[in-house]
Chain A
């Protein structure tokens, strides 16, 4: 049975499933954690999962020529830059709210309720 795992690293499905699992874990963390920074970390996980998917596609679907092979990497780099920017601003906001509410727990950030 284990021999069925041969050439798994050459199988697109494996990478995609891995990305899917990572994304699901990130979703769970985002929906279920109380600490705001834990939520942000889960978001990073999700973004990384997306990056992995892009890279996987780039490696297996568009690997005909070198030019196409570079496109996935380009997307991945830009996503990384966006993730960095988002993490910066997000954490700055969390710090600002923490100064106001004295707690990093998201439960308390409910001023927009009914």
Chain B
């Protein structure tokens, strides 16, 4: 198998698809209809999936030519500038393979889904072009073997995300949301760029494997301390994966079409940050202070987002905050050193969150564009396939065994506890309860109880086309089986085995001895019981309040709970307003920053420009003043001559002297 020819094809096909669709898509759609414009981009992505699967199998199994370290494919030297030599190359190992599985599978299913979802849109060709561009950028990011290429893919992903969020650009809110996403991402990217520069300063190379090896070797002798480098790199991860305080863009990003939310903001782009930290794991393991920061921010984001999801009424917003929360879990896992668990959760979350988003898209499609859950209900009989798959997704995310979410989440919590991060574990369990609760709330309000659907729309509610339900069904399969396949036995499953060589160095550096038993019982068992109990607690309480089947939503009980006393009322309002972070940003950067900017503008205008203009004015006025000498009268000029003569003669007389 000529892998060094196959691997470059993986990013090459999507960019060709983008170019083709961007150039010819419009004409094809106008002349031959939607399908003609869709064939090339969708077909190419299916081909990419096939190739990716061919590449992934040996990579995971450490077969030749991948081996334990992975395969390096060198294409050409991108920047040959002496000390700064950057090559264009790909590196495929088990970690890359995991990401490839998620990216290409969900990418392919989203492409197929979009055929049905965008069937009524005028600019379908543009959508698919952007989707292909996004696939290209994400694949470059994942496959790259040097930091600069990762950064290139990073930025391109941001750009594609901007284009896709603001796809319906004539809607002002969509345009603003796209801008917000891009700008907030940029803030993180600054940190990432500085991190890359710091890596280069420390090691003199931008090749990922080389630089990581050198960083660990130099240890404390690095010019720029490793903690600083790690935190800078984490900055980028924060921006891309929407961790606190750069989380504000993700809920607004729901302005984009649902397939975009599914692809980018559930399964791929937001995972880029997790991938980055996992890839740089030797760096982080050598800077344990940074790891604590990562874990802290991760778990804080988790509980923050979960608390907001309690009160949101837009179905996509709930899922967005849920994504934030699960990403927080992943970063918490990375922070405690459980890299394998984080990647496992990345994969399982990709599948069931993608499923949930696509399902919500199907729901929205069926109620004619309505996204407010308060105007849904009683849909479980009318859209059965969507309902069934979303139910599977909800159970998966709640962490009920034996679905995938249970395995991955429990592994994270287990590792946290066993490595001594008890605070992470406690908060993680609380978040698990909350997750189960708000996810069932979503199900209850959307599908069960009496129908609150707009009477005008109610008769038309129907199941979506096969292009939309097929991906749902396909995604529910790994949601159910992934854990069973690669997660057993707990803590030492197949996946962890595959990823071991990647994280071996970190394991060495961290050199942890996990707690083996707790109160005389095997600690794993105890932890499993606690997490399942937590999940069930959340689920059952939500079931009670929000019903199942035809049971009504107990809205009165809900209102009673949320207004019991001042504290709960405040919590309810805070949750509804997303803890006022947007207002805080607005105050800090728009108002105060605006004042600073206004002052600087005044300074530039008045002082800097004034100086420059002043020089010009001085010259002009001087010239104007001197113009007065030209009176046009001969006598005045003659006086000048006389004075000049006197001066010259006099000075000659005085200076040269009088010979007597």
**Residue pair B633, A114 in contact (C-beta under 8 Å):** no
B627 surroundings in chain A (CB, below 8 A): 114
**Residue pair B631, A110 in contact (C-beta under 8 Å):** yes
Looking at B304-312, B314-322, B374-382, B634-642, the stretch in contact with chain A turns out to be B634-642
Residue on A with the closest CB to B627? Answer: A114
Cα distance A26–B639 in the bound complex, in angstroms: 13
- Cross-chain contact of A106 among B630, B633, B639, B642 (Cβ < 8 A): B633
Residue on A with the closest CB to B643? Answer: A31
**Residue pair B632, A113 in contact (C-beta under 8 Å):** yes
- Cross-chain contact of B633 among A27, A30, A32, A110 (Cβ < 8 A): A110
Residue on B with the closest CB to A33? Answer: B635
**Residue pair B634, A106 in contact (C-beta under 8 Å):** yes
B638 surroundings in chain A (CB, below 8 A): 30-31
**Residue pair A31, B639 in contact (C-beta under 8 Å):** yes
**Residue pair B635, A39 in contact (C-beta under 8 Å):** yes
Q: B623-657: which have CB < 8 Å to A? A: 627-628, 630-635, 638-639, 642
Main secondary structure of the interface of B (DSSP, over half): helix
- Give the shortest distance, in Å, between A56 (CB) and chain B (any CB): 20
B632 surroundings in chain A (CB, below 8 A): 109-114
Interface size class of A (residues with CB under 8 A): 10 to 19
A110 surroundings in chain B (CB, below 8 A): 631-633
A65 surroundings in chain B (CB, below 8 A): none
Cα distance A113–B633 in the bound complex, in angstroms: 7
**Residue pair B642, A114 in contact (C-beta under 8 Å):** no
**Residue pair A31, B642 in contact (C-beta under 8 Å):** yes
Residue on B with the closest CB to A108? Answer: B633
Query: What 1/0 mask marks residues of chain B from 218 to 254 whose CB sits below 8 Å from any chain A CB?
Result: 0000000000000000000000000000000000000
Cα distance A62–B634 in the bound complex, in angstroms: 38
Q: A77-114: which have CB < 8 Å to B? A: 106-107, 109-114
Cα distance A30–B638 in the bound complex, in angstroms: 8
- Give the shortest distance, in Å, between B644 (CB) and chain A (any CB): 13
A39 surroundings in chain B (CB, below 8 A): 635
**Residue pair B635, A31 in contact (C-beta under 8 Å):** yes
**Residue pair B630, A109 in contact (C-beta under 8 Å):** no
- Give the shortest distance, in Å, between A49 (CB) and chain B (any CB): 15
- Cross-chain contact of B634 among A27, A32, A109 (Cβ < 8 A): A109
A114-B635 contact, Cβ under 8 Å, with A27-B642, A31-B642: no
Cα distance A39–B638 in the bound complex, in angstroms: 11
B residues with a Cβ closer than 8 A to A are: 627-628, 630-635, 638-639, 642
Knowing that A109-B633, A112-B630, A114-B630 touch, tell me 9 more A-B residue pairs with CB under 8 angstroms.
A27-B642, A31-B635, A31-B639, A32-B635, A106-B633, A110-B632, A112-B632, A113-B631, A113-B633
A residues with a Cβ closer than 8 A to B are: 27, 30-32, 39, 106-107, 109-114
A–B complex contacts, Cβ < 8 Å, 16 sampled = A27-B642, A30-B638, A31-B635, A31-B638, A31-B639, A106-B633, A106-B635, A107-B633, A110-B631, A112-B632, A113-B630, A113-B631, A114-B627, A114-B628, A114-B631, A114-B632
